[in-house]
Amino acid sequence: MPCEKRVVFHSFDLEFTNICHNNCFICPREKITRGKGFLSFETLSIFASEFSRYSPLVTISGLGDPLLHPMFCDFIHYLKGYKFKVVVVVNIASLVNNYENVKKIVDSSPHSTVISISSLEPEVLRTVYNGKLNQGDVIETLKIISTTVGDKSRLRISTIITDRGEEITYYKRILGSLGIPIWFTRIHSRGGNLSESKLFKRREIRQNSGCSLFLFHTFIAQNGDVLSCCHDITGETTLTNIAGGANNILSKKENIIKHQPFFQLCNKCDEPLRDLKLPHDYHLIPMRKLMRRIKIYNRS
């Protein structure tokens, strides 16, 4: 049964910052023109008071390194105090040879930590991280995190499958003994912002259509602006600011889904998750159950 399109607040990306020093090869960071900075406590408190009643999943993610936020641990504890389920996404480059950052993860104790690793295949690893990381350092860091955190059910590894297609073999062979679940997703152009390279070639993009993610997932930038998603690096899709309240955001999003495409950005986007087949009752299913039911990520 086809689902009726409706907006729900099942899930949020909350951008602690859009500043990052990792300079990954497959990040369009140099093209970011929207303002850079750090999430304020005022914006965080508005978010908590407006959206805690929806019991959403809150993922600390975006275009920056959340561990750079000077109030990282305090903000995570604040969100947990409002009973949010909090997931932190952090790049492995922010953790290698940086015990202080590992300690931030341990001390803040989010419900889950997703460690983003672009590849373990040696050549891809060198390319993505500009020669700054090697396979041995990555594996050793994962072992340290696994031991320090203790409960492996609270850890995930998220990785991409490049057009080379060799990553799954490497991950299963090298990391299988760690016992940390691995999520795979195919490399994409980050909303048309990633230039072609030996790791990535553009694919045909479905035109004038919507996005399944937009129906149940909301992106909030570090300044409180509500954007289409994390792929908006210019702010062109800004709907409103969370200072206007949850009902205002709901109204803005419900108006957007009446149009095809939702945004012009959508006509450049090859994000695999935009084409999720949602069940007709998705608006009634808690986010974690929905993730399992629609298989948001390929897992190993």
State how far the Cα of 203 lies from the Cα of 53, in Å rounded to an integer: 40
User: What single DSSP character describes residue 195?
Assistant: P
Share of the chain above pLDDT 90, in %: 49
Q: Can you say how many angstroms the Cα of residue 109 is from the centroid of all Cα atoms in its chain?
A: 18
First to last CA, the chain: 30
**Residue 270: per-residue pLDDT:** 86
Lowest mean pLDDT among 38-42, 148-152, 211-215, 266-270: 148-152
Which two three-digit tokens encode residue 253? 């999003």
Following CA atoms 84, 90, 96, 100 in sequence, which dihedral angle do they give, to the nearest 10 degrees? Answer: -40
- Among 153, 189, 170, smallest CA distance to 274 is for 189
State how far the Cα of 249 lies from the Cα of 227, in Å rounded to an integer: 10
pLDDT bracket for residue 299 (50, 70, 90): low
- Contacting residues for 94 by C-beta, under 8 A, at least 6 apart: 22, 65, 67, 101
Q: Which residue type is seen at 61?
A: S
**SS3 state of residue 85:** strand
**Residue 259: per-residue pLDDT:** 86
User: What single DSSP character describes residue 294?
Assistant: H
**Residue 105 near residue 149, CB atoms below 8 Å:** yes
State how far the Cα of 33 lies from the Cα of 233, in Å rounded to an integer: 6
Q: Can you say how many angstroms the Cα of residue 269 is from the centroid of all Cα atoms in its chain?
A: 16
- Among 180, 172, 138, 30, smallest CA distance to 129 is for 138
Determine phi and psi for 115, rounding to 5 degrees: -95, 115
- Give the global pTM: 0.91
**Residue 295: per-residue pLDDT:** 66
- pLDDT digits 0-9 by tens, 16-49: 999 999 888 888 888 889 999 999 999 999 999 9
Angle between helices 135-149 and 99-108 (to 10 degrees): 30
**Residue 30: per-residue pLDDT:** 83
pLDDT bracket for residue 164 (50, 70, 90): low
- Among 243, 239, 244, smallest CA distance to 218 is for 239
